[in-house]
Structure 1
Amino acid sequence: MTKKLSVVVSVYNEELGLRQFYEHTTPILKETSQRTGWDYELIFVNDGSRDGSLDLLKEFASQDEKVAVVNFAANRGHEAAMIAGIDYSTGDGVVCMDADLQHPPESIPAIIEKFDEGYDVVSMIRTARADAGIFKRITSVAFYKVMNALSGKTKFENNSSDFFAISRRVALILKRDYRERVRFLRGYVQNVGFKKTTLEFEASARVAGESNYNLRALVKLSLNAICNFSDVPLKMGIYAGVFSLLLAFILIIYSIVQYFLGTAPNGYSTLIVVLCFMFGVLFIILGFISEYLAIIFAEVKNRPIYIVDSIITKDGEELK
Structure 2
Amino acid sequence: MSQPDPLDRDGPATGRRPLARARLVPLVTLAILTIVIIAQARRRDADPPAGERGGRGVGELSPLPPPDDSPALRAVRDETPIRFSETAAYAELLDRVRRTPPDELRDRARGDVVFSELLTRPERYRGLPIRLQGTARLILRQEDLPGALAPGGRVYEAWTFTGDSRGFPYVLVFEDPPEGLPAGDDVNAFVIFHGYFFKLLAYKAGDKLRKAPMLIGRIEYLPDESDAVPPPPALGGSRPLWMLAPVALLVVYLFVRTATTARSLFGAGSKRRFHAPPTDQISPEELDEWLRSPPVDDRGESSRDDRA
Shorter-chain TM-score category? Answer: under 0.3
Q: Choose between structure 1 and 2: higher helix proportion.
A: 1
Larger radius of gyration: 2
Please report the TM-score for the alignment, with normalisation by the length of structure 1.
0.21
Please report the TM-score for the alignment, with normalisation by the length of structure 2.
0.21
